[in-house]
Amino acid sequence: MATRFAEAMDDPTASLEELESVVIRFAGDSGDGMQLTGAQFTSSTALEGSDLATFPDFPAEIRAPVGTTFGVSAFQINFGSSAILTAGDAPDVLVAMNPAAL
């Protein structure tokens, strides 16, 4: 995937695929700013005029141990050019801040 992107960047005539919608999930330890990052990305996407749906996911624990799956906080956004009804099933892009978020 990175190779295709690099090739497209080197060749301005290369064709890029336009997607109807994209699901992005930001994930990291609670306190890493995943909710803030998701909110900022959502604001930018809405200002662009895309339709969107979000799913914030944060742990029930007040302070879970760092690096454990119990303390993973995530924010998922599904956005696109047509009507978006759900936050999406599986992410097309995962932004993981640590191994526990994988």
Q: Is residue 5 part of a domain?
A: no
How many Å apart are CA 96 and CA 74, to the nearest integer? 9
Overall domain count for the chain: 1
Backbone angle region of 52, left / alpha / beta, with phi > 0 → left and psi within -120 to 50 → alpha: beta
Q: Is residue 3 part of a domain?
A: no
Q: Is residue 19 part of a domain?
A: no
Residue span of the structural domain in which 88 resides: 29-101
Q: pLDDT by residue (tens digit) across 29-84?
A: 888 899 999 999 999 999 999 999 999 998 887 677 777 788 889 999 999 999 99
SS3 string of 56-69? EECCCCCCCCCCCH
Lowest mean pLDDT among 14-23, 26-35, 85-94: 14-23
How many Å apart are CA 38 and CA 82, to the nearest integer? 20
